[in-house]
Amino acid sequence: MSSEGVIEGWVSNVKILGKIAFIEVIDGLNLSPITVVVRKDSGSVDWSKVSAVKLGSAIRVKGVYPEKVVSKKGREIHADEIEILAEPRDLPPIDVTGKTPASFEDYINYRYLALRLPRVRAAFLARSLIVNEIRSFFSERGFLEVHTPKIVKAGAEGGATLFEVDYFGVKAYLAQSPQLYKQMLMCGVPRVFEIGPFFRAEKFSTTRHLNESWGLDVEMGFIKGMEDVLEVLSQLVVHLSHKLNERLGDALRGLGYNVIKPVTSVRVLTYDEALEVLNSLGFNLKWGEDFDPKAEKSLGDYLEEKGVQAYFIVDYPWESKPFYIMKKDEKRGYAFDLDIRGIEVASGGQREHRYEVLRQNLLEKGLNPEDFSFYLEAFKYGMPPHGGFGLGIDRLVMTFLGVQNIRETVLFPRDRFRLVP
């Protein structure tokens, strides 16, 4: 049975065959256009407007959804009224029909137009789905969502990778991580998570780094060991990969994305085991060295050939990790990375919760405990054993979709060369 409806969107294609017009409209959050069918002899629509409608116009259509759809696009409405709400004043800088590809830079510069293209909007539908599922995942497990400051007095990791801010005459910084604050919260709340931006003032020129990124930060109190953190993060990866495939997998693959297969488990390798594999692949890495992107990619390719898409690397050298990581022994720390398809997506571990040991860690890393006094204060009042992780949402979307450049997953990316739009 036919039903009435209203659609609103942008004209992406127009075909007029005799006394019938077919107007394709990108509407709502759909990944395919709806075909608006207009008959000249219907008398209900001003044919002169229909025959002159411009590509890119914003329109509103009232009409009837037919019982039988003829359009190959899969959706169709027969128009009774068409209202042209806005017409383009200039030719669009990119082809909104998608027939003529634009440059990678143009797709970023005109992202607001590119979102009319199914492939581009699909990436951000996937990102939105992932963020929503993250929020549901942690809320359902008793985590409190928090929002920590993004203007801070001290960096979470020290060093020179901070954007300096003049805060009413006092030197401050844009937060590079909510690490210190989420640990402090463990003194009053057992489980927290945050989804928010972080900033790194490094002169990156890679396909997987940005200077403004969005991340997920999680912290858990009263843990028995780092394994508790690994378990939660493993469950999250499995959950997200299944939800993405279930809801958008076919559509994304149809648009050319190399979507990750549903993950059933996350493998665990020690740093020593990863080092051994890499050196067997031709690298000449010494114990204690961090893995550069080339090494990470080679390890990822090696494991993916064996059917492993996601994996933890645990027991890192303590020297290569931040001061708040608990030592496992004289050389190693309770720290891990999560890599997916050869790209580091998250890092975390068990934190040092003992006040005196934490203070000593700061000194060993060449940091002044006085600069972290606001943070150390929280460790005097019954701080439980705790651990957590930080996960890059931009990178997670990148690896799940199988794209080569992180800028494809960020609406308006910020890197060392890009401050607008």
Mark the binding-site residues, compressed into ranges: 157, 200-202, 208-210, 344, 347, 351, 392-395
**395 assigned to active site:** yes
Which residue numbers belong to the known binding site for L-aspartate? 157, 200, 347, 351
Q: Which residues contact 267 (CB under 8 A, 6 or more apart)?
A: 303, 308, 310, 311, 312
Of 344, 352, 386, 408, which is the active-site residue? 344
Alpha-helical (H) ranges within 255-409 are 271-280, 293-305, 355-364, 373-376, 393-401
Of 209, 332, 386, 407, which is the active-site residue? 209
- Which long-range contacts link 133-142 to residues 24+ away (Cβ below 8 Å)? 133/239, 133/240, 133/243, 134/193, 134/195, 134/216, 134/236, 134/240, 134/393, 135/195, 137/235, 137/236, 137/239, 137/240, 138/191, 138/193, 138/218, 141/191, 141/232, 142/190, 142/191
Of 133, 202, 227, 304, which is the active-site residue? 202
**347 assigned to active site:** yes
Interatomic CA distance for residues 362 and 375, integer angstroms: 12
Interatomic CA distance for residues 405 and 398, integer angstroms: 7
Structure tokens at 105: 């830079």
Of 200, 353, 386, 407, which is the active-site residue? 200
Structure tokens at 417: 């060369």
Q: Could you give the strand order of the β-sheet that contains 164-167, starting from the edge strand earlier in sequence?
A: 151-152, 170-174, 164-167
Interatomic CA distance for residues 383 and 353, integer angstroms: 6
Under 8 Å between Cβ of 237 and 310: yes
Q: Between β-strands 34-39 and 76-86, what pairing exists: parallel, antiparallel or unpaired? A: parallel
Of 76, 116, 347, 352, which is the active-site residue? 347
- For 124-280, strand residue ranges (E) read 144-145, 151-152, 164-167, 170-174, 191-199, 212-221, 267-270
Of 111, 386, 395, 407, which is the active-site residue? 395
**208 assigned to active site:** yes
Of 191, 208, 332, 386, which is the active-site residue? 208
Angle at 386 between CA 380 and CA 387, to 5 degrees: 135
Which residue numbers belong to the known binding site for Mg(2+)? 344, 347
**359 assigned to active site:** no
Which residue numbers belong to the known binding site for ATP? 200-202, 208-210, 344, 392-395
Under 8 Å between Cβ of 49 and 8: no
**344 assigned to active site:** yes
Report residue 240 CA to chain centroid gap.
12
Interatomic CA distance for residues 185 and 147, integer angstroms: 11
Q: Which residues contact 220 (CB under 8 A, 6 or more apart)?
A: 190, 191, 228, 229, 232, 386, 387, 388
**386 assigned to active site:** no
Under 8 Å between Cβ of 34 and 77: yes
Catalytic residues: 200, 202, 208-209, 344, 347, 395
